[in-house]
Structure 1
Amino acid sequence: MRQLLLFVTTATLFACNGPSESKKGLSSDVTLTDRNLYSADTVMMVANANAGKNKEADKLFLQAIDVYRNKKDPSQAVALFKKSIQAQPQAKAYYEMGNALGDIGELKEGLQSYDIADILDYKPLNKLLYNKACYYSRLGDQEKAKTYLISAIEFGYGNIKNLQKDPDLNNLRKENGYAFNDMILTAMSGATDPDKLQWAVFSHEFAQVKFPLLLDMKYASNMTEDRIISYDNERYVPEMRDYAFSREVGAEYYRVGLVKANDSNRTLIYGVVDEMGGNTLPVYYIASFNNKGVLIDKLQIGGQKILKDPFKIATINANYDIEVASFQLTYEKDPDKEGYDDNKIREQKALGKDTYAIKEDGHFVKKDMVLGMR
């Protein structure tokens, strides 16, 4: 089903937009405009030619997220999302723009935006498919709404409350309430516990880390777009809820990987980058969850929340020991007067090291405490 949906999406986009710039023989310096924003081949050409982080695109994206989620202005957010995309096309920007377009009733354009997000490999896919089902239901195309809703469930969407109560699916429910419930039950027949299913989809996107894992300043280069954690997963990332977009803009969140897993819990590492707060290096957290995705324990193991704080560097070993070394950083110029941009680190003074173990129940404890308990 997934392959068919992607084929139909891609074929439709190429057909609707006609010959793109790439087919006219233009070089990779082609840019995105309002006219070709949904041209699949043009978007892919620009994305491939501009791989890597783009600070301007990220800044505009975070501003758009703030305007959309915090200030509740989807129209203005759409304009900012488009500027971000024109600076660099990213799956997350197309997806969030699709959400904002739906909020202002631009459903067909919203579907186009979701289509491009899909082609750019947006994750979690099940949420994107679910949103497309909602838009088709609102447009009155119940066959496509059914197709995308079933696909969303098959790819891990398990929010029963939304499936039963979401007003965006009212048209689909009204068509035949009994048939709708049967369709949902059939699609979810393999998912006896929706919470477990959603957690499984999220946690399995974290690849097993290779030991020893060193989370130092250089590791920040691994925080690429394909590792971004969607804002739809805030239930699993406490910092997303803590920020609550209380600042002018938010932060970005990245998967690092899976450290340890057993029958009752999984231990993951993720990074938080608050570029707008002045810190372009990630703060790394190790967190453990039970098999329904409920947080058991969490520990900051790398980076610094505030630039004046000691900088932490973590090493995770094959025996699951977590070594956290702290350093006091001294800069060439006074940060209070000159800031941190273009201000090189002159000295790193070691302050000490703590070692933690991961208990079988998922909690983190200092090794000296473990030895003391023995």
Structure 2
Amino acid sequence: MRYIILFIAGTCLFACTPSSKKTAAVNALHLSADNLYDKDSVLLVVNSATEKNSASDKLFLDGIDKYRNKKNPAAGIESFKQSILLKPQAKAYYELGNALFDKQELKEAIKAYGVAELLDYKPLHKVLYNMACAYSRMGDNEWAKYYLVSAIEFGYSNVKNIFADKDLEGLRQKDGYSFRSEVTAALNGATDPEKLQWNLFWHEFKPLGFPVSLDRKYADKLGEEDYISYEYERFVPEMRNAQFSRDVGSEYYHVGLVKNTDSIKTLIYAVKDVVGEGSAPQYYIVSFDKLGKLIDKLLIGGQIELEKPFKVATIQQNGTIRVGLFKEVYEKNPDTAGYENNKLQESKEGEEVYTISADGHFVKQQPVLLGMNG
């Protein structure tokens, strides 16, 4: 990570035993103020430093005292950040988010809550609920509703607070009927195991920013935090091969949410071959009904067979899906030579255009072929 700072004392290079060298190197990996909310950097530090850090814990407790007992959020923020710089922990990010919220530094509070969620803060519904409150305070009702429903589906059950919390007032006033109906539906579904699994699955897909192009470079954005667990294989049929056993030759990633209504959820996931190093992922757009039943599915990016056109999808704000069709020719056969250092030539052969119908199906529009007249 570009902001990760390594502090390794020069004398340790010569004086330490092999085991102490390893400990010193691990302990030398820290965050900086510049990358406090950079999720990749946070994960790198967390995964590197497994030992307890008493100084970090002491600063965290100092922050709790200043923030909770002495009612001084500004001083608490300083202590929480110092604690995180020594060792990032979910509890410190969560309390940092709360203190920032109280200071009305809402954008930074959301960042802190986001890292607390990443680090698996328990109970998760508290983080999600507070994020809903922060977005509501900012006037971003779409995200506020998203996180409020998520909080309910992850176990938040204080109905009185949902309908009385001043932090959610903006969300309630924007569309009272929609607010009540969605909250009621979420509360009713929270006790149904199958519906809960579906809700957990689709809520992991965050709304996409449009327009978005799923080209070869997009794969670089897919990281460990985007993995789809095998526990959701009922929603990702590619996870099972022809013998109905788990396919362990591929990895599966959340890409994002395209359409979200009470009755339809349309999302995109990626399937990446881990055997064919350098190969591009396949991207699927899929629609489900409110219970998680498949409505329609379409391959919109990548290719399954080399003989078929390589697809590059661009999704617009209005839901239009434009799929460019490219002919690809490798200098050497990738089956034997691989993809690395294998020169690729491609030319666009045409384009397919789809729209998403009200019932979630992907409707193909008049085909567009390059070189056609009139």
TM-score (structure 1 length as normaliser): 0.49
Structure with the largest fraction of helix:
1
Greater length-normalized contact order (CA 8 Å, ≥ 6 residues apart): 1
